[in-house]
Amino acid sequence: MLESMLNAFRAPDIRKRLLFVLGVLVVYRALAHVLIPGINPQVLNTSAPDNGFFGLLSLFSGGDIRRMSIVGLGLNPYINATIIMQILQSTIPSLQALSREGEYGRNQITKYSRYLSVPLSALQAYGILAFVQADTAANQNGLAAYSVPFSFEKYESLSMILALTVGSVMLMWLGELITEKGIGNGISFIIFAGIVSRMPATVGSFLNSPDWLELFAFAVVGLVIIFVIIFVQEGQRRIPIQYANRVRGHRIYQGGSTFLPLRVNMAGVIPIIFAISILLFPYQIASYFTASSVGWVHDLSVGIVSWLDTRGPLYLSLYFLLTFGFAFFYTFIVFKPDETANNLRKSGGFIPGIRPGLPTEEYLRRVALRITVAGAIFVASVAVLPMVIAALPTFRNLSNAGIGVGLGGTSVLIVVSVVVETMKQLEAQLMMRSYEGFIR
């Protein structure tokens, strides 16, 4: 693999792309240390909120929301906007028709996603800033996290919202630059860099009170999880496709055979993001009212917060079930058996033993349903298993250090997926130059 990396850097165009990706990631990490205006770092560093909602945001921003950097929102608003647009495509006929217009349609939908991410960024920024002010004041005996009390009527507060919104839009732009001029998917690279940036702090926290036997046991479990992720992510069901001879004008085009690959996990990490967003929404709302002076409101809010604790059995059970369900939901948004069957019929292709048209559609739907069961169980298990392991007494020190939850589950799935996809793209570039590749 080292020799292959050296071969990649010897090719001028590949080296230029890799260095461009590295440069953009350096810019991103530099922006992560620029704080928004009006922050009181001393108070914020000692009382940064530590709950599931901020854990989700930190997953996509490298923990930058805890210190209120300008890129603290990360790509979460853009990801939410993309998910919303994908759902709308299946419900609004005009968007559905636009998505079928090839590259032009995809570009238009991407543009709509960018526009939608701006108000989502502003709305999320307002909610986070208001929550941090209330949480910090409660935990620091009235000390404020901001130099000026946060209020929508104040100019300083508007500048803080604007800073977080612009930072999120800037990250979206950097991600698209990587996609256009670098190698791999830029959005995935930004998330990857944010996750990896948390590793030094997590390792340093563990080294303060190390338990090497515990670390060895967790490393073995982690390697097994990584192996399973790669095995399942690369798993496919190959459906044979036969093309008949076609006559066009005075020419006869010879038919052939190929296959239609259906991935076991077509939904990727989207079901996990859906499930976390739904579970943390009532948690976030309830957190606003835990300090309420009204008795029943206070009791109800505290109850919801305790029930939806990220290490509690209720949260883990709902997390697993929602992830499992959303895997089916999103798979059949991405893969449409009716369109696939229609395209095969128009191109003269058919599945041996299956009649074209409705029988092909029903066959594809049945196969997709079966393999999605395995993919849904896999995604739900990957999401929940690190939390379950970190909650065990055997791994208590690692859990306190943030290993297992902070570097597990969704994080591992994203990191492994980005690495594998990047290696595939480098492999394709190297094969064009007759180099020996990474993947054998």
**DSSP per residue over 107-157, as a string?**
HHHHHHHHHHHHHHHHHHHHHHHHHHHHHHHHHTTT--SBSS---TTSHHH
Give the model's pLDDT for residue 407: 44
pLDDT in tens, 218-277: 777 778 877 888 888 788 888 888 877 666 666 666 667 788 888 888 887 778 777 877
pLDDT in tens, 344-370: 888 778 888 888 888 888 999 999 899
pLDDT in tens, 119-168: 988 888 887 777 777 666 555 554 566 767 666 667 777 888 899 899 98
Give the model's pLDDT for residue 87: 79
Burial of 238 (0-12, 13-18, 19+ CB in 10 A): exposed
Distance CA 58, CA 66 (A): 8
pLDDT in tens, 171-226: 889 988 988 888 877 887 888 888 777 777 666 666 676 667 767 777 777 788 77
Give the model's pLDDT for residue 405: 44
The reply to whether 208-405 shares the fold of 1-198 is: yes
- Distant-in-sequence, close-in-space partners of 262: CB < 8 Å, separation ≥ 6: 236, 237, 238, 239, 335, 367, 368, 371
pLDDT in tens, 381-428: 887 876 776 666 655 555 554 444 444 566 777 777 777 777 777 777
Give the model's pLDDT for residue 46: 58
Q: What is the DSSP string of 210-229?
A: --HHHHHHHHHHHHHHHHHH
Distance CA 306, CA 99 (A): 43
Burial annotation 191-210 (CB, 10 A radius, 16+ → b, else e): bbbbbbbbbeebeebbeeee
DSSP letter at 47?
S
Query: What mean pLDDT is reported for the chain?
Result: 76
Is it the case that residue 373 has pLDDT exceeding 80? yes
Q: Hey, what CATH class is 208-405 in? A: mainly alpha
Kindly list the domain boundaries of the chain, sorted by start residue.
Answer: 1-198, 208-405
| The one-letter amino acid at 377 | I
Encoding tokens for residue 107? 């570009």
Give the model's pLDDT for residue 166: 92
Fold classification of 1-198 (topology level)? Preprotein translocase SecY subunit (1.10.3370)
